[in-house]
Structure 1
Amino acid sequence: MSVTRNEAIRRLDAAGQRKVATELNQWRNNWGNTGGWGGWFRGQYPDLINTVWTA
């Protein structure tokens, strides 16, 4: 199931992961946009993958 970045932020916030949600909201790639957020997130927060992709 495809999850948008905004939906991921909402799911993290709902799960009480507000700090991580804020970090994801502020994250930008080398070009200043949000493309690639999923790969970055999986690498940084492997323990929260199920929170985002199986909610």
Structure 2
Amino acid sequence: RLRLPDTWRVHPVEWEVESILNHKNTGRGRQAHRTYLVKWKGFTHADNSWEPESSLKDHA
């Protein structure tokens, strides 16, 4: 396992949403949730990804 020097800060990387291309609902009842097909700004369509609603709420 790699040990980083204590002076290095590791922070989460975030990407900017360019557009939402599609959505789908999965599960039923209390287990239901929605995912979105995201086009990321500065990336090609090959990099599009399905993301849960919870990971996009801070970006609305």
TM-score range, shorter chain: under 0.3
Q: TM-score, normalised by structure 2?
A: 0.21
The structure whose residues are more often helix, as a share, is: 1
The structure whose residues are more often strand, as a share, is: 2
Greater RCO structure (CA 8 Å; 6+ sep) = 1
